[in-house]
Every structure is written in C-alpha cells, then in structure tokens.
Amino acid sequence: IKPHTKFTAEIYVLGKDEGGRHTPFFQGYRPQFYFRTTDVTGAVELPAGTEMVMPGDNVSITVA
C-alpha cells in the first residue's frame, strides 16, 4: 500500500433515510476517512461551480 496526500474520488453521499448525512457540506469540509486500521482527516475540494453537496448527490471531489 502506497500512501498519498491527495486523491480524486467519485462519491455518492448517503441521505438521511439511507443512514447517511442530514445536512449538506461545503468547500473545505474535513471529514475523517477510515482506511483499514487508521483514521485520516482530509479537506474536500469541490469541482468548480459546485457550492455545496446535498445528501443524495453524486459528485467528483478531490481530497488533500
């Protein structure tokens, strides 16, 4: 496994009824990511023109 400090991902944000988020998130959101045995915090960069991501949205994000 090779560590990286930046990656891009296509994500689907689970909605409230799916056991996911209740509120939208914005540029700079810093969630924790769980990789096997470690937790990592990263800042989310949204695509140009995307102000926020609502539960139930599909979006391409960059995490740095």
CA distance 48 to 57: 16
CATH topology of domain 7-63: Elongation Factor Tu (Ef-tu); domain 3 (2.40.30)
Domain ranges for the chain, please list them.
7-63
CA distance 30 to 21: 14
CA distance 9 to 21: 18
CA distances from 61 to 1, 17, 37, 44, 51 (A): 22, 23, 23, 7, 12
Local confidence pLDDT in tens for the 64 residues of the chain: 788 889 999 999 999 999 999 999 999 999 998 888 888 899 999 999 999 999 999 999 999 9
Residue 33 phi/psi, 5-degree rounding, is -110, 140
pTM surpassing 0.85? no
